[in-house]
Amino acid sequence: MPEQQPAVQQFVLLPTRGLQARQPHSSPAVRSALLFLYDHLQNPKVQPPAGVRLPLADMRVLDSIHEDGAKLIELRPETVSVLRASYPGLRIVPVVYFYPAVAPRQGIAAARAKTPKRVAGKLTVQVLSGSGNGPVTGAAVVAFTDFASRAGAAGTTDANGRVSLALGASSKKIDRLYIYAQRGFWSLLKRSFTLKNGMTFTLRAIDLSYVDELRYIYPNIPPTAGGGVSVGVVDTGIADHPDLTIAGGQNTVVGEAPSDYGDNGEGHGTHVAGIIAAHGTPPKGVRGVAPAVRLFSFRVFGKGQAGASNYAIAKAIDAAVRNNCDLINLSLGGGPVDEATKAAIADARNAGSIVIAAAGNDDRQPVSFPASDPLSIAISALGRKGTYPADAVEFGDVMAPFATSDPDYYITSFSNVGPEIALTGPGDGIISTFPGGYAVLDGTSMATPAATGAAARLLGTRNDVIQMPRDAARSDAIAQLLLQSAQPLGLGVTFEGRGLLS
């Protein structure tokens, strides 16, 4: 289905930091652009000076606060992408209107809501390994009787691979059944069938030589890719793993040992790290996109804690900058804009580092913070048909739009999208390192390190950029390199931004 032509929107253009473009926080290029837009507002016939590259034919300047300060402009979302690629240090913020917080009236659905029925009957199913038929422990089994309304029952398999589901009957029509393995297996999706008590399901073991989406897009990665580049992973920590070498890091969780930057047990950060920097060789190991980077772990999720504090995240970004990380991977986000994280991202930009952040997995909702921050590089999750088994859960993530360049590519149904998206990356069915082995995971959390790895690989070939003084001009140069090197797939800018780094 062709993407609808988006309407013209209003945006505020801001210098890299503060409200006026003053060095060292804004580059001369950003200042020149803002000064010219002020002149352009006074006299639209004035010609831009040499070096100022603005899409003037597609934009309209409506107002200006200072000569070198904020500008109110009007343009189409696709022009935002062009502008961002030319001036990565320019913050491009959608205009937001606030309204009185009037409580909404109760709708019909709420008025008709009934007390939920008591679900008495349960049925038990068993999950087995495809390699040897042993039980799979700790697998999450999610059975939807109606996927659209997310109605159903869920549970986790015990030591015998068994789980009881409160479906109210011993036999039930199922819309979708998801079985998510912790590690070692592809997760399973089964649609439109009758689930009966005593049924067994078999999970396919991970074959490390399988060509998943990451290896399809980035085949034959040389062991030297990413050399000379330092990458910080701000996440759950990184576990000791034969395919990973960790150069250093810090645990920024208050109350825990700063030197304990290993994985907190969730495995998320270890998976993210492997996508960037794993240096194994299939079939005994896996390889990331930039195996020669210097990898740093900054743990922000505490042990046994479901959330990371904004203090720990801001402190981790500061620490990554102090460790001279060129790229800082944030596969996390959600919630309101946070000024501590925002300030840390701006300070990182001023110190020559850039933050690459996950758009979020809220099913096509607006890009979440901190990816939505104008100084972040926001990443959506790309999927590709044929890079996962036919019964894998990834099959449930296929959704339009499909790429005009190759209709097997799609932006996953779970990915957040919007004009803030800068790049896309493979994030559907990615095999990577996990504590104690390997796992397949999906998400913008996986797409982000794929983009970070590709960025490191590209940056590693550009000594002229790497050697620049660590200031705002350097981070602008890195961001510009990434945004101008990406190739669009034909998915639309609000879905893929500038496209995919090759």
Partner 1 sequence: MPHFILRYRGPGSVQPEHVNRISSLPNTAILDSSSDRMILVDAPEAQLRAALEEMPGWTLIPEDTVPLPDHRKKILRPPADAEDEGHS
Give the residue numbers annotated as catalytic, written as ranges. Answer: 235, 268, 445
- In angstroms, rounded to a whole number, what is the distance separating the alpha carbons of residues 140 and 179? 6
Residue 383 C-beta: closest distance to partner 1, Å: 12
For β-strands 354-358 and 294-299, DSSP reports them as: unpaired
8 near partner 1, judged by CB under 8 A: no
Which residues are CB-neighbours of 275 under 8 A, at least 6 positions away?
A: 214, 288, 289, 430, 432, 446, 449, 450, 453
The stretches of 158-297 forming alpha helices (DSSP H) are 213-217, 268-277
19 near partner 1, judged by CB under 8 A: no
Looking at 84-92, 103-111, 198-206, 336-344, which segment touches partner 1 (CB under 8 A)?
A: 336-344
User: For the chain, how many residues are written?
Assistant: 502
- The residue among 196 and 284 lying less far from partner 1, judged by its C-beta, is 196
- The residue among 5 and 194 lying less far from partner 1, judged by its C-beta, is 194
Looking at 139-147, 400-408, 455-463, 488-496, which segment touches partner 1 (CB under 8 A)?
A: 139-147
Which sign does the torsion angle of CA 67, 68, 69, 75 carry?
positive
- The residue among 8 and 151 lying less far from partner 1, judged by its C-beta, is 151
DSSP 8-state assignment for residue 395: G
Binds partner 1 by CB under 8 A, chosen from 23, 196, 265, 284: 196
- The residue among 32 and 264 lying less far from partner 1, judged by its C-beta, is 264
- The residue among 241 and 268 lying less far from partner 1, judged by its C-beta, is 268
For 9, other C-beta atoms within 10 Å of its C-beta total 15
329 near partner 1, judged by CB under 8 A: no
331 near partner 1, judged by CB under 8 A: yes
481's enclosing H/E stretch is helix 472-485
Question: x/- site string to partner 1, residues 63 to 92, per CB under 8 A?
Answer: ------------------------------
- In angstroms, rounded to a whole number, what is the distance separating the alpha carbons of residues 95 and 10? 6
Residues 226-265 that bind partner 1 (CB under 8 A): 236, 254, 258
- In angstroms, rounded to a whole number, what is the distance separating the alpha carbons of residues 221 and 338? 37
Which residues are CB-neighbours of 65 under 8 A, at least 6 positions away?
A: 19, 71
Among left, alpha and beta (phi > 0; psi -120 to 50; other), residue 178 is beta
338 near partner 1, judged by CB under 8 A: yes
- The residue among 93 and 340 lying less far from partner 1, judged by its C-beta, is 340
Residue 362 C-beta: closest distance to partner 1, Å: 9
Residue 312 C-beta: closest distance to partner 1, Å: 9
Binds partner 1 by CB under 8 A, chosen from 106, 150, 257, 469: 150
- The residue among 89 and 291 lying less far from partner 1, judged by its C-beta, is 89
Binds partner 1 by CB under 8 A, chosen from 140, 199, 466, 468: 140
Residues 397-426 that bind partner 1 (CB under 8 A): 414
Residue 68 C-beta: closest distance to partner 1, Å: 19
Residues 340-359 that bind partner 1 (CB under 8 A): 340, 343-344, 347, 358
Q: DSSP 3-state assignment of 449?
A: helix
Binds partner 1 by CB under 8 A, chosen from 106, 149, 220, 467: 149
- The residue among 155 and 226 lying less far from partner 1, judged by its C-beta, is 155
- In angstroms, rounded to a whole number, what is the distance separating the alpha carbons of residues 107 and 383? 36
Binds partner 1 by CB under 8 A, chosen from 36, 87, 180, 210: 180
391 near partner 1, judged by CB under 8 A: no
Report residue 494: phi and psi, to 5°.
Answer: -75, -15
Q: What are the Cα distances from residue 68, in Å, to 31, 48, 75, 448, 490? A: 6, 15, 20, 33, 35
Bridge partners (DSSP) of residue 241 are none
Binds partner 1 by CB under 8 A, chosen from 26, 32, 79, 361: 361
For β-strands 354-358 and 327-330, DSSP reports them as: parallel
Residue 196 C-beta: closest distance to partner 1, Å: 7
Are 456 and 226 in contact by the 8 Å Cβ rule? The answer is: yes
Among left, alpha and beta (phi > 0; psi -120 to 50; other), residue 492 is left
Residue type, 39: D
- In angstroms, rounded to a whole number, what is the distance separating the alpha carbons of residues 420 and 6? 14
Binding residues (CB under 8 A) for partner 1: these are 116-121, 140, 142, 144-147, 149-154, 166-173, 176, 178, 180, 194, 196, 236, 254, 258, 266, 268, 301, 306-311, 313-315, 318, 331-336, 338-340, 343-344, 347, 358, 360-361, 396, 414, 442-445
